[in-house]
Amino acid sequence: MAGTGISSNGYMDGKELQNFIQELQQARKKAGLDLTPEMKAFVDQYGKATDGKIGIVELAQVLPTEENFLLFFRCQQLKSSEDFMQTWRKYDSDHSGFIDSEELKSFLKDLLQKANKQIEDSKLTEYTEIMLRMFDANNDGKLELTELARLLPVQENFLIKFQGVKMCAKEFNKAFEMYDQDGNGYIDENELDALLKDLCEKNKKELDINNLATYKKSIMALSDGGKLYRAELALILCAEEN
């Protein structure tokens, strides 16, 4: 059975490689760009092979800077979505669901330190600029949580799973009030547990009840000393109103 991630010896294989290819194609399409001939050859060779395996160095030669950068981050073995969410919480101090481009450099530095990686300041500046090009599509100097979460390896990115179960604001508020049983304006870990169990039951296609503990830990990383306020949970479960 092929592995499902980036191995420590610098290869990407199995499902992670297929997910990466799919994402590469989507990102290019979204940017209105065709695949380069090198990318096309890479996709043709590896896109269908479930047991495909490619060296990171080899893969880096195929990709433009932006995708290379995502690859670099995923190879840094960011330990978990929980680390990522804790770092996010520190910078999104007003709970808006965005961080400013000014804060991005420190955010990346913290994230890499959690993965025990030291990085030169000039490199960090370069990565920050690449990220703004990639993720700040409307140039408003703000970056969204779901966009930045693309730095996580695919199987760690639980936010992708929750994209499919987001509710409108009215539904979300109703659900929040239902699970905030004591009406104190936040939900605790047990109340979140009940909410997530129900969500998993209703959305078996998107959410796996076996991952409940992981979802819970990652979401509770946004809490304030075990108190998960409405604004934090809304980042995960409330769809933006256009």
Residue numbers of the domain that contains 144: 75-153
Is residue 70 in a domain? no
Q: Degrees (nearest 5) of the Cα angle 181, 225, 154?
A: 90
Is residue 242 in a domain? no
CATH value at residue 229: 1.10.238.10
pLDDT tens digits for range 31-72: 677 877 878 888 888 777 677 777 766 776 666 666 666 666
pLDDT tens digits for range 109-153: 887 777 677 778 887 888 788 777 777 767 788 888 877 777 776
Question: Which residues have C-beta within 8 Å of that of residue 12, sequence separation ≥ 6?
Answer: 5, 6, 20, 53, 54, 56, 59, 71
Instruction: Single out the residue in 153, 172, 188 at which a domain terminates.
Output: 153
Mean pLDDT confidence for 181-198 = 92
Instruction: Single out the residue in 153, 168, 194 at which a domain terminates.
Output: 153
Is residue 33 in a domain? yes
Q: What is the pLDDT of residue 2?
A: 36
Query: Residue written as tokens 């969204």?
Result: 144
pLDDT tens digits for range 193-213: 999 999 999 988 888 888 888
Domain count, the chain: 3
